Structure 1
């Protein structure tokens, strides 16, 4: 089962490696470089990976009555999948959607609607409004946590179901507990765009 999970991860990672350069090259040309938010997200997720695994392992152990070893193993593998495959692949898809729907153009941030579109529709790859990037990173980062959360929840749920197949736990119970674990860790991840904004404001 573990070998099969590893093969699935590697296959999806290979797809991601093919799609990412295409998205970066194509969209980068139409968006005048801009700021791909994955450049900020990947370091944050990488640094946060071990604390996230620890928090989710403790929660899963308590809520699902698992052994410490099994809870750590489940949290480790499932978070590895979501971090290496789920989040980057989701970003690539969001970039492609942004690019294909005309989100590569600079429509301005002079109006409320323009500001909203700049940090939602154009959140995956921010248009380079240099004087506004400090607040754009804050709101775009918070917005992107929403799709990243749902992808992390479902990818970790699918992995966890396979790894906990012999425990007799119901899929619904695992689904709910994995959701709750991600709610906890993603609430903590919300501090990174807030922290970025605060640091940028202080240094401004």
Structure 2
């Protein structure tokens, strides 16, 4: 999944930086240039380090906890486990990937959100050391809620395209 997630994040990074910069500028009273610099640095850290490391950790947990084998798609439990517990490294059920990839993508957005929020918060707090840490934490969280809500469009769009083109 990392090979599908990273290109989507790469295509999204500029709009994410600009949206988060506008939000930080307005909520923290920053000049636009300062907000853009801050969100650029924090988003590069979360995108280039946080997301891949989180994915790697999820794969390791999956393999160590017994998620390296197929659960099967015969039951609802098997389907759920195949796209949640195995979201980071999907078992290649070739005929089912049209729905499994977007669902796993949605599942992965949850841990990626938390890692992005915390890594961006730590970077932003260091850059904007004159702002109260609690305020920075809330503003960075809210900025990430906005942009992750938009990132949901990637897996939904993938699903729509695959279902309108006949998989």
Aligned residues: 166
Query: Which stretches of structure 1, 4 residues or more, deviate above 4 A after TM superposition?
Result: none
1:195 aligned to 2:142?
Answer: no
| Counterpart position of 2:138 | 176
1-side partners of 2:98 and 2:40: how far apart?
Answer: 33
1:39 aligned to 2:10?
Answer: no
| Counterpart position of 2:148 | 186
Q: Structure 1 residue 104: deviation in Å?
A: 1.1
Q: How does 1:131-170 map to 2 (within 5 A)?
A: 131-165=95-129, 168-170=130-132
1:53 aligned to 2:17?
Answer: yes
1-side partners of 2:32 and 2:16: how far apart?
Answer: 15
| Counterpart position of 1:20 | none
1:96-129 C-alpha deviation (Å, 9 max, x unpaired): 0001111111120111100100011000000011
Q: Structure 1 residue 69: deviation in Å?
A: 1.2
Task: Give the TM-score normalised by the residue count of structure 1.
Answer: 0.80
Q: Give ranges in structure 2 of 5+ residues lacking alignment.
A: none
Task: Give the TM-score normalised by the residue count of structure 2.
Answer: 0.98
2-side partners of 1:105 and 1:152: how far apart?
Answer: 29
Q: Secondary structure at the match of 1:105?
A: coil
